[in-house]
Structure formats: structure tokens, C-alpha cells
Amino acid sequence: QQQVKQSPQSLIVQKGGISIINCAYENTAFDYFPWYQQFPGKGPALLIAIRPDVSEKKEGRFTISFNKSAKQFSLHIMDSQPGDSATYFCAASIWQGAQKLVFGQGTRLTINP
């Protein structure tokens, strides 16, 4: 019940295209859903996060879509650039208290020039 399932494992997108990564969760107590970007040899960097009171959040080229009834959320990267090539992790937690993050398995994104 604590799992967050992420797909696909890897994704190749042409420059300028839209990258879409999906996550699903089981625990209905989760109410905070961040996305992290990780470059090789670096720590995860917070990209964007959403809480379930909204169905979509946009920051620049990055958008989170959230479907509470389906217990799914996704990251869309518009106009994907080679510099976006990285591993992306979705995560989920309970907003209050310790807020331990439960991470998905990660998606290795490659943007071809």
C-alpha cells in the first residue's frame, strides 16, 4: 500500500516534443506529490509538487496533472530539451507529520537533439 508505481522505466523523446511520465499510488492518505529530477552523481532536485486540492499545476515547461479518483498523477515536460535528459522520480507522502517520501522507481529520460 505504500508503493508508488512509475512508468515508463525509460523514455526517449525528440527535442521539442512532449515528455510524459506517469505515477500511480494506492495509499489514499497520501496528499503531497512532488517530482524530483536527478542528474548522474547528484542528489534529487525538487522540480514541482502538487497537493490534491488542484488537478493541475504548471511551472514553466513542467506541468503536473493529478487525478484523485484514479489515484494517478503525471509529469508533462513541454518543448523537451537535451538539458532535460535526466532521471525523474515521482514521490508521495502525507503532508502532516514526518512526511517521509515514498519514491517511484524512476524514469530515465533522454532527449535526442
Partner 1 sequence: EPEVTQTPSHQVTQMGQEVILRCVPISNHLYFYWYRQILGQKVEFLVSFYNNEISEKSEIFDDQFSVERPDGSNFTLKIRSTKLEDSAMYFCASRSAAYEQYFGPGTRLTVT
Q: Which stretch binds partner 1 (CB under 8 A): 20-28, 54-62, 67-75, 94-102?
A: 94-102
Tell me if 43 contacts partner 1 by CB under 8 A: yes
Q: Grid coordinates representing 14?
A: 525528440
Q: Which stretch binds partner 1 (CB under 8 A): 20-28, 56-64, 71-79, 88-96?
A: 88-96
Tell me if 95 contacts partner 1 by CB under 8 A: yes
Of 54, 70, 99, 113, the residue at the interface with partner 1 (CB under 8 A) is 99
Interaction with partner 1 in 49-68: which residues (CB under 8 A)?
A: 49
Start-to-end Cα distance in the chain: 39
Contact criterion met (CB below 8 Å) for 27 and 1 = yes
Tell me if 34 contacts partner 1 by CB under 8 A: yes
Give the nearer residue to partner 1 in terms of CB position, either 13 or 92.
92
Q: How far is CA 67 from CA 10, 19, 43, 71, 87, in A?
A: 23, 18, 28, 6, 23
61 burial class (0-12, 13-18, 19+ CB within 10 angstroms)?
Answer: middle
Of 52, 72, 102, 110, the residue at the interface with partner 1 (CB under 8 A) is 102
Question: What is residue 67's three-state secondary structure?
Answer: strand
Binding site for partner 1 (CB under 8 A): 32, 34, 36, 41-46, 49, 89, 91, 95, 97-106
